[in-house]
Every structure is written in structure tokens, then in C-alpha cells.
Homo-oligomer: A and B are copies of this chain.
Amino acid sequence: MRHVDPMIGTQRMGHVYPGATVPFGMVQLSPDTDTIPYAVDGKYNPGVYSTCSGYQYDDSTIVGFSHTHFSGTGHSDLGDILLMPTTGPLQMNPGTAIAPQSGFRSVFHHKNEKATPGRYEVLLEDHGIKAELTATTRVGMHRYTFPRAETGHVILDLVHGIYNHVDKNVWTFVRVENDTLVTGYRQTNGWGRTRTVYFAMVFSKPIVHYGQQPDARPTEYRGFWRKFDQTNDFPEMAGRQLRAWFDFDMKAGEQLQVKVALSCVSTDGALKNMQAEVPQWDFDRVVHEAEEAWRNELGRIAITSKRPEVLTNFYTAMYHACLSPTVYMDVDGQYRGLDQNIHTAEGFTNYTTFSLWDTYRALHPLFNIIQRERSSDFVNSMLAHYDQSAQRMLPIWSHYANENWCMIGYHAVSVIADAQVKGIIGFDAQHALDACVATAEHRSFEGLGDYIDLGYVPEDRSGASVSKTLEYAYDDGCIAEMARHLGEKEVAKQFKARSTAYRNVFDSLSGFMRPRLADGSFLKMFDPMDTHQEGFIEGNAWNYGLYVPHQPDELAGMMGGQRRFGEHLDSLFTMELADKYFEKTEDITRDGIMGNYVHGNEPSHHVAYLYNYSDRPWMTGKRTREVMDRMYAPRPDGLSGNDDCGQMSAWYIFSAMGFYPMEPGSDLYEIGSPVVDGATISLPEGKELRIVVHKQGPRNVYLRSVRLRGERLDRSYLVHGELMAGGVLEFEMSAKTPKP
């Protein structure tokens, strides 16, 4: 755990947060820095992209500590229930980054900041307050040390949020239940269209006075406002935009502690969560328990390396891989469903934050090795989503009882098929298959009707048509594989046929996947290097066109055979990318690309492993090692692109151990080139897979041999079952390419 550095990826493109959380926790208690949403005059805030997680390393001020954050996303939401402790005159405005004194925010410096798994600490310099944060699954705990004997304030800012439209609040509600307990909720219309977060907050000292900002014009009891002075000590507040303050008599050096429990159901639920998880006032004990939880998860893979940066990269990746999906259920099993009704999870833990277009690739396959019980919960959570969906579809990108429909494909089917194929139990497989089929047959979804009828998505009817066609074909292959497993031959046959749809968008003349129109013709305007080329999304024909992970041999054949295929891959990695093309490339930095290979975004994640299907399979090792060394670094800017809820990290974890699930939904892993010296993966039933790397070295990126349980493998893949049986997997490395 000492190798984890939560600051890695907080600078530039990583979009992770440095705050306190436990593995897969509902609470992500983390500092929010400058930009949101104060940097803009109008309602749209394009600058929020850089602070999707609430935090950007280069910012110089902290606005406060909010309790929900995405890890690594390329789109923003959350930032709920912000607390800020302050001293001096009460300021109810956050102020600006340029003039932090103008509001309650504070300057901070990284030298006064400390982030470790489950704990965060920073000195709020404007107020002289040391703030420490920790968390359980559903409770955030704050400890503020005040510098002087004076009235200390805590601001509860329900206006604050993270989103690219400033005015996302729908309703906010606060009750001061007694002199230490405050409850309430915040309902927003952001990326999640109809989202509510309930909270219960307890202070370790009595509130002396409290109130709401007089200038925020909270909705009054209209016409009857004279009944009470509602700005001071009035225990019920509501409106679209609320900020409340709480005053405490503090001694010099005295600590004020705050526990904030969240719930997706009610303030009652939040209180129950608090009572169950943090009944006491022992901050250090909560830190200790959080660290234990992290130690347990991180310890599922133990690696060795002589290179400290490998240890840091790997364990930080493990840390980031255990942040999402997040628990979305109260301790009593209740949660808010997609239908906005309250449901009880029977026999599973309900989770949310499914960034599926990203995470189906390597994160969920990783879970199917080291988080098999949670994998079952994830599938059950997605099936509950399906059952509650008005569209009768599995999630696309879902969070907090909302479907945000982000990105393309229906990759829940990949996650489910991968779980099924890899022997995850505890869900209704037949129901899961039905859900996959229903989702894949939803004709009004993104060109799917045309795809079913024509075998491809026509660009003139639905944009990003090539990307969609390729991803649908892959997903359909997953459904076919799952159906085959369940003995559903008809379904298997039907979707097996659909899984070759990628052929229908291949233009043999140009040698690229190319957008096609409803009349069957290919789109004339076509630049395979342009990432804004019609037909593709977040990629171009050169790289996205390689997306046939489930039938790589056919892809290579279609592209001219193994040699031509190898040449294509080589030029992909080595070409000089003109600025005009780079400028259009999303979600990554210049460091995040190698030629036209864009590691900073997901469509390329399988690409280095495609070399195994070319005439130069050893290049898989060279390229993946290159990517590991160049795209991951133990620095705040060490992630070359959005971590995307752990997918970037999961790529590293697999690749570092020398294999990768190029085709989730099958039980195969492509063999790459380990960067670790050795690794031990804890498996169910006390088994272990020990990875031993002989002759490891920076230049020894090629494999000389691979042995499983002593037996030499003459293939470029591993099978899930043989890994799960445990034993020793040996790689022998070399600086030379193998003899042909």
C-alpha cells in the first residue's frame, strides 16, 4: 500500500481525485479546486472538463470538500455536499481563484498536502485550518484543527457541484434536527438527469448558531416569510440554491469533527448508514479501517520489481482499479432504482457508476480474476437496471439511478458474457441472456434497427456509424458466446451471424473501415487519419478501424494478410501525426499518443496485442512495454489520458503481468511482455498463480519462452481456466526478437 500515490493522475488528463475513499465506496471525500463553476459568466462551463474529478493539480485554491467524485471520467457530474471550514469573518461566497480572499475558499500548497489510500490531509492556509479526511463505504469523516480561540465556521455549500452547466440544481433541502445533527438532500439535473443525494451530518460539538446565506434567495415560505427570521437559526431550509453556515466556539488547536453519511434513499437511510459504519468519534480508527480495506484489495496481487516506478505505477493502478463501480445501496439493502422507486437488493450488493464503454475492456476481466464476488454483484446490478429500465435495456453508462447514454455500443453484454464464460456465479444466467438479447434488439437505439436490417449502421441515418457497427459486431459476438455456453443454439447462431458485421463496413479499395450509406455506397469524403471523420467517434479509421477484437485473424486476412497487417500496425505506432490531426484527438495529451496510436483513449487498448495475429507477434512485447514505460509514470501527470473509472489502470495491471484480455467475453488472454519481476495473484479456494519472470530487464522486452506449470506453451494466448487453476507461470525474457 505504501507504493500507492493517489496524486498520480491528478494533473492534466488523468482526471482522478486525491481524496479519501475505501474500495468501491459510495463516498469519495475529496477536495474540489478552482474552476467549478465559478470561472464562467454564462451557464456553460467548458473549463470543467479538466476538473471532472473536482481536482486539478495545477489549481492553487480549494473551495471545500465534497463527498462524491468520479474517478478518471471524461465527463463531469457529482461534487455533492461540499463542506468548508473557515475562520475570520463569515464569508458565504466561494470567491475566485484569482482572489481567493474574496470568498471562503483557501489557497493551499502541495507541500502541505498528503494523500494516502483512505486518508487525505491539507492545510487551508487562508484559515490556518488543518483539514483531515477519511471515509468508510457510506460515511465521510472530517477532522478540522482550528488555529485560534474564535468562532469557527463550517460552510455547507449545496450550490457547489461539478458539471458543465452551472445551474444543475433542481432542489436542495436542509433540516437542522438538533444542535449537532443536520440532514438534507440535493437533487440535480446534470449528466444524471434526475439524481438525488441524501445526507446526514453530525458535528462533534454543538452548533452555536446557524443560518443560510441571505443573498442566495432561497425559496421562502411565500407570503408568510415574516413568521420567522429564516436566515438565522431557522431549522428548515429549502430552495434551488442553498448555502448554510454553522458556527462553533473553538479553542486554539481544538479539533472539530464532522461525520457525513450519504444515502440514495432518504435522510433516514443516511442516518442508518452512519450508525452502522461510524457510530463513534474515532477518526484514527476510521483511517485504520480504511487502510485495512485497501490493504486487503491491493494485496490480491503481490508483485516484485527492482524498479520503484513499476511498483508505484502498478499499485497505484490497482488503487485506481478499485474505485469504480461504486456501492449504491444503504446498509439495509435499499436503493433508488432507475424508475426512481426504492428497491431492496435481494442477495446482492447494488452498485452504480458503470462506465461500460471503457471498463468492459480490461477492468471487468480483471474483476473476474480478483474480485469475483463483486463481479456477480455488478452483473446483478446491471440486471436490476435492466428490469427497471423503461427502455428495457441494460446500462450503457449509468450512474446514480440514471442512464446517461454516454458513448456507443451495448457493452454490458460483454461484461455479462465475460462473467458467464469465466464462471462467475450468483446471477440468473438465462435472465441475463434475455437482457442481452433484448438490449441488442432495441431497434430505435442508435441505428440498431438499420444495423439489424442492413448488416451495418448507415452513416446517413446515424452518426459514428463505423464505430457503432464495429462495436455492435463485437458485442454480438459476446452474446453468441454466452448463448453457446447456455446451450441456446438459435440465439448463438443468430448473434454469431451478426458478429461478422464489421465486414460490411470494410472498403477493400481503400483498405480501411469506411462509413457506408443506406444505399450501400461508401461515403465519398473520407480521410482515414481524421478523428473527426464522419463514421468514427474518438478515433479515426487508422486506429478505430482495427476494432475487431473477437475475430483478429479475419481482420488480418481482410487487411491483406499477416504481413500487411503487421506493416499497418508498425506504421500506426511510428507515423508522424500532423498537428492538424492531433488537435482533434480527444481526451489525451501529446504524451498519450505514439504515432497514431492513442493510448490515452480506449479504442486502442487492444491494438498492441493485435501483433500476435501478424507476422511479427514479438512486437506485442515491444509495443506494450513501450506503452507501459511512456504512458504511465509516478508523477501527478503520470496518466496520459483519462483513467476512465480504472480502465487505463486495468490495462497496465494486465500488461505489467504479461497478458491481456483482448477479447472479453471469451476465456482467452493474449500474451504480452511482463514488466514486473514477479507476481502472485491470490485466487479463490486459497490457490495462487505465481508469475516468475526470468531475465527481466529494461531492454529484455521480447519473450523467449512461456511456461505454465512447467510446460512450455507454443501459443500466444492463455486460457482463463488454466490460470485459475493456479501454479507457476514463467516468462523468459530476451533483448532479441525470437528467431523466425
Contacts and interface: CB of A to CB of B under 8 A. Distances in A.
Contacts of A582: none
Contact of A219 (B183, B193, B222): B193
A273 to B, nearest CB: 14
Contact of A185 (B233, B234, B340): B340
A339 B227 contact: no
A645 B268 CA distance: 33
Contacts of A342: 266, 268, 342
A177 interface: yes
B171 A267 contact: no
Given A340-B185, A444-B229, A238 B193 contact: yes
Contacts of A173: 194, 340
B194 A238 contact: yes
A236 interface: yes
B189 A219 contact: yes
A444 B175 contact: no
Residue from the set A235, A267, A390 with the largest chain B CB neighbour count within 10 Å:
A390
Given A173-B194, A222-B191, A405 B227 contact: yes
Nearest to A235: B390
A226 B219 CA distance: 35
A281 interface: no
A176 interface: yes
A463 interface: yes
Interface string A205-236: 00000000000000101111011110001111
A297 interface: no
A591 interface: no
Contacts of A340: 173, 185, 266-267
User: Secondary structure of the A side of the interface?
Assistant: loop
B267 A341 contact: yes
A446 interface: yes
A267 B224 contact: no
Contacts of A236: 390-391
Interface string A337-348: 001111000000
Interface in A399-420: 403-406
A391 B235 contact: yes
Nearest to A229: B444
B219 A390 contact: no
A619 B167 CA distance: 64
A436 B165 CA distance: 47
Nearest to A462: B226
A588 to B, nearest CB: 19
A248 interface: no
A222 B192 CA distance: 9
A165 B171 CA distance: 17
B187 A404 contact: no
B390 A177 contact: yes
A189 B222 CA distance: 10
A170 interface: yes
B341 A266 contact: yes
Interface size class of A (residues with CB under 8 A): 35 or more
A463 B445 CA distance: 61
A498 to B, nearest CB: 20
A406 B224 contact: yes
B339 A405 contact: no
A226 B165 contact: no
Contact of A176 (B171, B390, B403, B462): B390
A234 B442 CA distance: 12
A176 B404 CA distance: 18
A102 to B, nearest CB: 31
Contacts of A170: 170-171, 187, 240
Nearest to A175: B390
Contact of A183 (B189, B240, B339, B463): B339
Contacts of A403: 221
B391 A221 contact: no
Nearest to A406: B224
A156 to B, nearest CB: 15
Contacts of A268: 339, 341-342
B339 A175 contact: yes
Nearest to A268: B341
A555 B446 CA distance: 79
Contacts of A234: 444
A215 to B, nearest CB: 19
A63 B522 CA distance: 53
A715 to B, nearest CB: 41
Interface string A263-277: 000111000000000
Residue from the set A165, A224, A403, A446 with the largest chain B CB neighbour count within 10 Å:
A224
Contact of A404 (B183, B221, B339, B446): B221
Contacts of A463: 226
A223 B404 CA distance: 9
A356 to B, nearest CB: 14
Contacts of A446: 226-228
Interface string A408-451: 00000000000000000000000000000000000011100000
A60 B226 CA distance: 38
A271 to B, nearest CB: 9
Nearest to A191: B222
Given A266-B341, A446-B227, A194 B171 contact: yes
B405 A221 contact: yes
Nearest to A337: B268
A267 B406 CA distance: 27
A444 B339 contact: no
Residue from the set A185, A191, A227 with the largest chain B CB neighbour count within 10 Å:
A227
A224 B408 CA distance: 10
Nearest to A233: B444
Contacts of A191: 222
Interface string A161-201: 00001000011010111000001010101010110000000
A405 B224 contact: yes
Contacts of A339: 175, 183, 267-268
Interface of A: 75, 165, 170-171, 173, 175-177, 183, 185, 187, 189, 191, 193-194, 219, 221-224, 226-229, 233-236, 238, 240, 266-268, 339-342, 390-391, 403-406, 444-446, 462-463
Given A226-B463, A228-B446, 11 more contacts: A170-B171, A173-B194, A224-B405, A226-B462, A227-B405, A235-B390, A266-B341, A267-B339, A267-B341, A268-B342, A342-B342
22 contacts: A75-B223, A165-B222, A171-B171, A171-B194, A173-B340, A175-B339, A193-B219, A193-B221, A221-B403, A221-B405, A226-B446, A226-B463, A227-B445, A227-B446, A228-B444, A228-B446, A234-B444, A235-B390, A266-B342, A267-B339, A267-B341, A268-B339
Q: For the complex of A and B, list the 10 residue pairs with the smallest distance between their C-beta atoms, beginning with the closest.
A: A235-B390, A224-B405, A236-B390, A175-B390, A268-B341, A266-B341, A227-B405, A221-B405, A170-B171, A194-B238
